Amino acid sequence: MSYCINPNCPQPQNTRQPLFCLSCGSELLLEGCYRVIRPMGSGGFGKTYEVDDSGTTKVLKVLFNLHPKAVELFQQEAAVLKRLNHPGIPKVQSDGYFIYSLRNSQVPLHCLVMEKIEGMNLEEYLTHRDNEPIGERAAVRWLKQLAEILHQVHQQQYFHRDIKPPNIMLRPDGQLALIDFGTAREVTQTFMQKVAGQQVTGIISTGYTPPEQMNGKAVPQSDFFALGRTFVYLLTGKTPDFFNEDSRTGQLIWRDSATIISKGLLDFIDYLMAPFPGNRPKETQEILDCIAVIDASASNSKQSSQTPKTYKNSSNNQQISQIQYAGFGRRLIAHCIDIVILTIVVALIWKIILSIFNVLPSNTINEYGVFGFSLVCASFITIGGIYGEFLIIVGNLSSGFQSEENRFILTIATFALISKWLYYSWFESSEKQATPGKMALGIAVTNSFEHRLTFHQANVRFWSKSISALILLIGFIMPLFTKNKQGLHDKIAKTLVIKK
pLDDT tops 70 at residue 302: no
Which range of 42-56, 259-273, 414-428, 486-500 scores highest in mean pLDDT? It is: 259-273
CA–centroid distance for 405 within its chain: 53
- Mean pLDDT for 17-34 is 90
- Mean pLDDT for 18-38 is 90
Read off the pLDDT of residues 146-199 as tens digits, 9 standing for 90 and up: 999 998 888 877 777 788 999 999 999 999 998 877 655 444 333 333 433 444
For the segment(s) 120-322, the CATH number from 3.40.50.620, 3.30.465.10, 1.10.510.10, 2.60.120.10 is: 1.10.510.10
How many whole angstroms separate alpha carbon 220 and alpha carbon 158?
A: 8
pLDDT at residue 296, rounded to an integer: 75
pLDDT at residue 304, rounded to an integer: 41
Delimiting residues of CATH 1.10.510.10 domain(s) in the chain = 120-322
Q: Determine whether 490 is an active site residue.
A: no
pLDDT at residue 126, rounded to an integer: 94
**Active-site residue (options: 162, 180, 223, 338):** 162
Contacts of 292 (CB under 8 A, 6+ apart): none
Minimum mean pLDDT range among 1-5, 215-219, 280-284, 394-398: 394-398
pLDDT tops 70 at residue 417: yes
For the segment(s) 2-115, the CATH number from 3.90.1150.10, 1.20.120.80, 1.10.3720.10, 3.30.200.20 is: 3.30.200.20
pLDDT at residue 319, rounded to an integer: 38
pLDDT at residue 487, rounded to an integer: 79
pLDDT at residue 371, rounded to an integer: 54
% the chain with pLDDT above 90: 23
Where does 102-239 show beta strands of DSSP type E?
108-115, 120-121, 158-159, 168-170, 176-178, 185-186
For residue 475, report the phi and psi dihedrals to the nearest 5 degrees: -55, -25
- Mean pLDDT for 16-34 is 89
- Mean pLDDT for 254-274 is 89
pLDDT tops 90 at residue 385: no
pLDDT-based confidence at 390, cuts 50/70/90?
low
pLDDT at residue 403, rounded to an integer: 57
Q: Which long-range contacts (CB under 8 A, 24 or more apart) does 494-497 make?
A: 494/447, 494/448, 494/457, 495/445, 495/446, 495/447, 495/448, 495/453, 495/457, 495/461, 496/325, 496/445, 496/446, 496/447, 496/448, 496/450, 497/325, 497/326, 497/331, 497/438, 497/443, 497/444, 497/445
Among 144, 177, 475, which residue's Cα sits nearest to residue 328?
A: 475
| pTM passes above 0.85 | no
pLDDT tops 70 at residue 337: yes
Among 410, 137, 156, which residue's Cα sits nearest to residue 294?
A: 137
% the chain with pLDDT above 70: 74
- Mean pLDDT for 395-423 is 66
Give the count of alpha carbons within 13 A of 431, CB side only: 6
Q: What angle do CA 494, 335, 486 make, to 5 degrees?
A: 25
pLDDT at residue 397, rounded to an integer: 55
Minimum mean pLDDT range among 104-108, 112-116, 224-228, 312-316: 312-316
Among 262, 361, 291, which residue's Cα sits nearest to residue 144?
A: 291
To which H or E segment does residue 444 belong? strand 443-447
pLDDT at residue 42, rounded to an integer: 72
Delimiting residues of CATH 3.30.200.20 domain(s) in the chain = 2-115
pLDDT-based confidence at 435, cuts 50/70/90?
very high
Beta bridge partners, 252, equal: 245
pLDDT at residue 314, rounded to an integer: 39
Q: What is the DSSP letter of 245?
A: B
Calculate the average pLDDT of the chain. Answer: 78
pLDDT at residue 407, rounded to an integer: 62
